[in-house]
Chain A
């Protein structure tokens, strides 16, 4: 079963909005569904890589140590990103905007 960083339903809603706005080269519901699934995975990847690609080696190591902790809580992640000064929401926003632009064929097509 595919694993996602962002809740799949949330990603799906976003992708659905894009799909509505673009004529797609699909002929069957199966093709549409496949395209949708691929888009969801791609979007999730882009978001994840945008966030973790912004970490330095030291920050990356620290984050992995956080994951290794047995009793980590969501607030720990909040504190971590606040401390290193990385605006995760902005990263996610940028990634989704970029994905949307690419999906629709250019930001200002």
Chain B
């Protein structure tokens, strides 16, 4: 800042006496008068004398005065520099400041400075040193209270809106007033810096689905867990929009705002427990692509100002008008395979030329029906991107996989509402929904579509889609590997005292009725003796079958021949 007193002083190099000194003095006085007459300093000194201004306690100035003063001082300085560069004429005497100030060593030209700068950029040690200097300053930002564009760095805390005094200290000089500490920004709100992502489509977005997808390797469920883990507002949005069956106890039926407040009230242990439960819910989720049209509700993030910390971030409601927006719908099934409910999130897959999912885009907010009560209590903001229809994927050739356009029959059935109850949404929400599990007419197309998606989605894991809904982790057992599995073995009983089997001798038959062994009643048991004669006679009299007697008389005659009455 030029010293106002210098306007009335002599250059140290001026002669103290003689004609030159008188000329210099005259020039100085004339310069002062010219300056005053020009009114360059009028605004600064408006209403007060220069002496009064110099002596005035800057800290007691109003904020507006200080701003004005600082701006005008800068302008004055720039003007003086310009005039110093211009050739002096009798009509426009050179500023006294040039004459009176001791000549400083000339600095290098802009070209020379740039050349040195470029060389320095090639030196790693130099770059490292300069970077450390920049970080040491503290890259937090302090915004002037109430200012629309005022900006300063270096102060450790943002001034409160009512603290004009504190702000004034920042405005006017006073390097000593700047505390060189980093303002509490954690990489742009949340450890992973989600909110400050340069790839976000709008300032109000939770994050960039593209970046989250890169971290989570394009796994939708992991993306939802990641976003909730790094931004409590995202967590509240997701929890409040889950199907009630999947909401943790104590959070059922709450609005987004109520959910956020409740989360904030939890202890660390309780919070982690809720997170764990939520993560399990997301692990059990199935996913599908849904095309959305019409007015929908979203919860957006808004920065209220000041430091980018949780206290200065808030959720707001925004109604958007969607047109062919492809989103990801998460849905859950009960143990019988029936759909419990669903939740749509603005995460749109990005496909390569082969139809493989290679990423996602979107803001990762839940999108739901306009009349949903979960948005109660939130301030409302206008659509930051009105008329754009959000992220339509209609232009992407492979993007049409997820839309109703490929499914020629489903759009008609969808809009008519047949079988749409399975999607969990009705009215405009179901328009364009092309997969309706309960619509038997679409079953074939659903199967084909699922097969196609599995083929294309190289990274698809079965676990993500949970082929065993309703099966808890405890119940799951690990399938033995081929090398581990030994199959079943026959049971063997090993008796330590066993001996080789003894040879069993055949037992003698004690009773041989073919021998007459005598005995008390032996006469009653006539041994059967072989009688060849009788046998022969019987054989000869044997009647052939075809000659067998057929009448009673013939039978009697046959018996008589044998000597039998």
Query: Taking beta carbons and an 8 Å cutoff, which residues of A are in contact with B?
Result: 3-7, 10-14, 16-18, 20-22, 29, 32-33, 36, 45, 47-49, 51-58, 60, 63-64, 67, 72-74, 76-78, 88-90, 92-93, 96-97, 100-101, 103-109
Q: Are B153 and A53 in contact (CB under 8 A)?
A: no
CA distance in complex: A85, B339 (Å): 73
If A93-B178, A107-B71 are given as contacts, then 8 extra A-B residue pairs at C-beta distance below 8 Å, sorted by A number, are: A6-B134, A33-B198, A48-B114, A49-B110, A77-B125, A96-B153, A105-B148, A105-B149
- The residue that A21 contacts in the complex, of B105, B123, B131, B143, with Cβ under 8 A, is B143
| With A56-B106, A57-B108 as contacts: A107 and B121 at CB distance below 8 Å | no
CA distance in complex: A55, B200 (Å): 41
Q: Are B113 and A49 in contact (CB under 8 A)?
A: yes
Q: Are A16 and B121 in contact (CB under 8 A)?
A: no
Closest B residue, CB atoms, query A75: B129
Taking each of A22, A52, A73, A90, which has the highest tally of chain B beta carbons within 10 Å of its own beta carbon? A52
Query: Taking beta carbons and an 8 Å cutoff, which residues of B are in contact with A?
Result: 67-68, 70-71, 74, 105-108, 110, 112-114, 116-117, 119-123, 125-137, 139, 141, 143-144, 147-154, 175, 178, 180, 185, 187-188, 196, 198-201, 203, 303, 308
Q: Are A10 and B131 in contact (CB under 8 A)?
A: yes
| With A3-B121, A72-B125, A108-B71 as contacts: A97 and B131 at CB distance below 8 Å | no
Q: Are B150 and A107 in contact (CB under 8 A)?
A: yes
| With A74-B128, A77-B126 as contacts: A108 and B117 at CB distance below 8 Å | no
Q: Are A101 and B151 in contact (CB under 8 A)?
A: yes
Q: Are B67 and A108 in contact (CB under 8 A)?
A: yes
Looking at the assembled complex, report how far the CB atom of A34 sits from the nearest CB atom of chain B, in whole angstroms.
11
Looking at the assembled complex, report how far the CB atom of B271 sits from the nearest CB atom of chain A, in whole angstroms.
28
Q: Would you list 25 pairs from A and B whose C-beta atoms are within 8 A, ordered by A residue?
A: A3-B122, A5-B121, A10-B135, A14-B141, A16-B196, A20-B303, A29-B200, A48-B113, A48-B114, A52-B113, A52-B120, A54-B107, A55-B107, A55-B113, A56-B105, A56-B107, A60-B116, A63-B116, A77-B129, A78-B129, A92-B137, A100-B152, A107-B70, A108-B70, A108-B71
B108 surroundings in chain A (CB, below 8 A): 52-53, 55-57, 60
Please give me the 5 A-B residue pairs with the lowest Cβ-Cβ distance, nearest first.
Answer: A109-B149, A104-B149, A100-B151, A7-B131, A48-B117
- The residue that A16 contacts in the complex, of B120, B180, B198, with Cβ under 8 A, is B198
Closest B residue, CB atoms, query A66: B126
Q: Are A93 and B154 in contact (CB under 8 A)?
A: yes
Q: Are B153 and A100 in contact (CB under 8 A)?
A: yes
Looking at the assembled complex, report how far the CB atom of B393 sits from the nearest CB atom of chain A, in whole angstroms.
15
CA distance in complex: A93, B174 (Å): 13
B187 surroundings in chain A (CB, below 8 A): 13
Taking each of B135, B139, B143, which has the highest tally of chain A beta carbons within 10 Å of its own beta carbon? B139
| With A67-B126, A93-B153 as contacts: A29 and B201 at CB distance below 8 Å | yes
Q: How many Cβ-Cβ contacts under 8 Å join chain A to chain B?
A: 172
A72 surroundings in chain B (CB, below 8 A): 123, 125-126
A51 surroundings in chain B (CB, below 8 A): 117, 130
| With A6-B134, A56-B107 as contacts: A16 and B188 at CB distance below 8 Å | yes
CA distance in complex: A58, B112 (Å): 12
A29 surroundings in chain B (CB, below 8 A): 199-201
Q: Are B198 and A12 in contact (CB under 8 A)?
A: yes
Looking at the assembled complex, report how far the CB atom of A12 sits from the nearest CB atom of chain B, in whole angstroms.
7
Q: Are B116 and A55 in contact (CB under 8 A)?
A: yes
Looking at the assembled complex, report how far the CB atom of A4 sits from the nearest CB atom of chain B, in whole angstroms.
7
CA distance in complex: A17, B184 (Å): 13
| With A67-B123, A92-B133 as contacts: A49 and B117 at CB distance below 8 Å | yes
CA distance in complex: A21, B158 (Å): 14
Q: Are B125 and A5 in contact (CB under 8 A)?
A: no
Looking at the assembled complex, report how far the CB atom of B211 sits from the nearest CB atom of chain A, in whole angstroms.
12
Closest A residue, CB atoms, query B151: A100
| With A53-B107, A64-B116, A72-B123 as contacts: A18 and B198 at CB distance below 8 Å | no
| With A13-B185, A64-B119 as contacts: A6 and B113 at CB distance below 8 Å | no
A78 surroundings in chain B (CB, below 8 A): 129
Q: Are A4 and B113 in contact (CB under 8 A)?
A: no
CA distance in complex: A101, B178 (Å): 17
Closest A residue, CB atoms, query B121: A3
CA distance in complex: A32, B448 (Å): 40
Q: Are B131 and A17 in contact (CB under 8 A)?
A: no
Looking at the assembled complex, report how far the CB atom of B175 sits from the nearest CB atom of chain A, in whole angstroms.
7
- The residue that A108 contacts in the complex, of B149, B196, B198, with Cβ under 8 A, is B149
CA distance in complex: A53, B188 (Å): 33
B154 surroundings in chain A (CB, below 8 A): 93
